[in-house]
Amino acid sequence: MTGAPSADILLLRKMHPLIERSLGGRFTIHRLDEAPDGDALLREVGPRIRGLCAGGTVDAALMERLPALELIANFGVGYDAVDAGAAAARNVIVTNTPDVLTEEVADLAIGLVLATIRRLPQADRYLREGHWPKAPFPLTASLRGRRVGILGLGRIGRAIARRLEGFDVAIDYFGRSRQSGVDYTYHDTPVSLARAVHVLIVVAPGGPETKGLVGAEVLEALGPEGILVNVARGSVVDEAALIAALRAGTIHGAGLDVFENEPHVPADLAALENTVLLPHVGSASEHTRNAMAQLVVDNILSWFEGRGPITPVAETPWRPRA
């Protein structure tokens, strides 16, 4: 791992140990979160920063303070917190970590579907609180005979669908366009999808285009037997509309791994018994986080060794020079 040109890299916050360990011996690292005065640090080193390691918000204002910036390496497949359009306008490449977390998140999504429908956390609590000797746990809903909809049939959505095939359920999907080579039933609106299914799994990317995509109309279409599961971004679901729908019985229940204002979860949502709530752990296994961290490192090394980025995002494509 010798021979890579030295460069100044900015870390916005504490990153995965593998990232910090791998980059520390190869580059000059600056830690914004550890600086007594962040503005002073940016004034001092901002003009020298060529790479940025991100796991949070990177907006145009920050990029403006980093005139030599070449690469933003995002820790995560979702990069809605990075202004990729502003990066493209500055000829800055943005990378993310696709594929390496696909299977883990898909596994979690299936677990969350089952936990929500069969009320597994509630059953666990029922036993621990000593209620079982008094009466059996109440009967629950079932995945049997249900139709499942996937809102966003990308890498993770397809992986979820493959797993669902083993449960012998019908599968529908919504996306920006119909996909070739897919036998699942396509819907051209989220409302149409929700109306046709009993379980709606949200896997759409975050960002302005999908903000509040699952709102009151979609929840109404999902109906009183409907289950909503979100493993995408909290912004895709209108949280206030969801709380109202859960309270009113407009839908049966919800399983959520993501929220609008993480890590803060509304008390009104946490108080509802017809929910299963997780602290954004979709990719949070040691195996997968190590793989994500390694891909961040590999993108940075590849870029500064002159080989280009490995996984540039769509807004900042890269082609090798002829």
Q: What is the pLDDT of residue 319?
A: 83
β-strands 253-256, 93-95 pairing: unpaired
Given a cut of 90, whether residue 315 has pLDDT beyond it is yes
More confident residue, 2 or 173: 173
Query: Exposed, middle or buried, 216 (CB in 10 Å: 0-12/13-18/19+)?
Result: middle
Percentage above 70 pLDDT, the chain: 98
pLDDT band per the 50, 70, 90 thresholds, residue 1: very low
Find all residues with CB under 8 Å of 251, minimum gap 6, and list them.
219, 222, 223, 224, 226, 227, 228, 245
Q: What is the pLDDT of residue 5?
A: 54
Q: What is the pLDDT of residue 56?
A: 84
β-strands 170-174, 227-230 pairing: unpaired
β-strands 8-11, 49-54 pairing: parallel
280 Rama sector, left if φ>0, alpha if ψ -120 to 50, beta otherwise: left
**What is the amino acid identity at position 122?**
Q
What is the average pLDDT across 203-225?
A: 96
Percentage above 90 pLDDT, the chain: 94
Q: What is the pLDDT of residue 320?
A: 77
Given a cut of 90, whether residue 322 has pLDDT beyond it is no
Mean of all residue pLDDT scores within the chain: 95
State the Cα–Cα distance between residues 81 and 59, nearest whole angstrom.
8
Beta-carbon count within 10 A of 294 CB: 16
Given a cut of 60, whether residue 242 has pLDDT beyond it is yes
**3-class DSSP state for residue 30?**
strand
Predicted confidence (pLDDT) per residue in 220-241, tens digit: 999 999 999 999 999 999 999 9
Q: Where are the domains positioned within the chain?
A: 8-98+286-304, 102-277
Q: What is the pLDDT of residue 302?
A: 97
CB 214 within 8 A of CB 237: yes
**Domains 8-98+286-304 and 102-277 are alike in CATH topology:** yes
CB 194 within 8 A of CB 200: yes
Q: What CATH superfamily classification does 8-98+286-304 receive? A: NAD(P)-binding Rossmann-like Domain (3.40.50.720)
Residues carrying an active site annotation = 233, 262, 280
pLDDT band per the 50, 70, 90 thresholds, residue 94: very high
Sheet with 185-187, side-by-side order of all strands: 185-187, 170-174, 147-151, 199-202, 227-230, 253-256, 275-277
Tell whether pTM > 0.75: yes
* 65-72: long-range pairs with CB below 8 Å, 24+: 66/10, 66/42, 70/303, 71/95, 71/299, 71/300, 71/303, 71/304, 71/309
Given a cut of 80, whether residue 290 has pLDDT beyond it is yes
pLDDT band per the 50, 70, 90 thresholds, residue 321: low
Given a cut of 70, whether residue 307 has pLDDT beyond it is yes
Given a cut of 90, whether residue 270 has pLDDT beyond it is yes
State the Cα–Cα distance between residues 74 and 31, nearest whole angstrom.
16
Q: What is the pLDDT of residue 2?
A: 46
What is the average pLDDT across 109-130?
A: 98
Q: From residue 279, give the alpha-carbon distance in Å to each of 80, 258, 284.
A: 19, 7, 10
pLDDT band per the 50, 70, 90 thresholds, residue 30: very high
Q: What is the pLDDT of residue 18?
A: 96
CB 160 within 8 A of CB 110: yes
CATH code for the part of the protein at 102-277: 3.40.50.720
